[in-house]
A = this chain, B = another copy of it.
Amino acid sequence: MTQATNVTPLFNDLAKIERDHTVACQECSLYRLCLPLGLHNNDLVRLDTIIKRSQNYKRGHILFTDEQPFKSLFVVRSGSFKTTISASDGREQVTSFYFPGEFIGLDAIHQSEYQSNAKALESSSVCELPYDMLQEIGEEMPQLQIQMLTRLSKELAGDRNLMLLLGKKTADEKLATFLLSLSKRFQERGFSATDFQLSMSRSDIANHLGLAVETISRLFSRFQEEGLISIAGKALSVQNIEKLKQLCG
């Protein structure tokens, strides 16, 4: 019943493909998911020049906190991240999880500080886009502006679905919705829609969905009993995706 190995980080495969830190956007396997989509070749080359590609960060690495000045946007190249915001009394809310090709820091644009805290959930790397430069080259690249607006807009729409989830859904529906959202994102990235590793902890999931850790744990157990999923540690396998969809509410 024990899982063979849960060691493999989530996006190791991608990490391998991308292990050369200097790979240009044109050759990056994330191309179709990433910012450069739709840019003309000249523009792409120009964008390329302002991107700083990070080395591999290890689990727990802090990309930025809400006390640091806003300087750059980040795109996940490999691995995954979570962002949190905190209330004055220290309570935290996990606002989002980020996978390869997704933007981190969009909520800080034109603020002096970042508005959230971003932390690596596993071994991860990013492309850093200094915002002043992005803005500069953006003035001559309408396509880039459009991409930025589109990204922001989609993130906004996503957040609003999360508000529906947080405000109106039951614990069962929350978890089902969350798992399907992961499934979809893995699929978009060329991975299995049914078998994947959860890079985040149970308590991250619980927090993100507005539930207690114990509730998540119990739900995983029950979903397993009911044949919806099979889960061992961080390894998840979706057994009945249709039933899961019905559960979403």
Contact = CB atoms under 8 A, between A and B. Distances in A.
Interface in A82-104: 85-89, 91-93, 95
A107 interface: yes
A85 B145 contact: no
Contact of A163 (B93, B108, B115): B93
Contact of A166 (B92, B111, B210): B210
Q: How many of chain A's residues touch chain B, expressed as a range? A: 35 or more
A23 interface: no
Contact of A160 (B91, B145, B159, B207): B159
Protomer copies: 2
B87 A249 contact: yes
A146 B135 contact: yes
Contacts of A160: 85, 93, 95, 107, 115-116, 159
A115 B157 contact: yes
A197 to B, nearest CB: 24
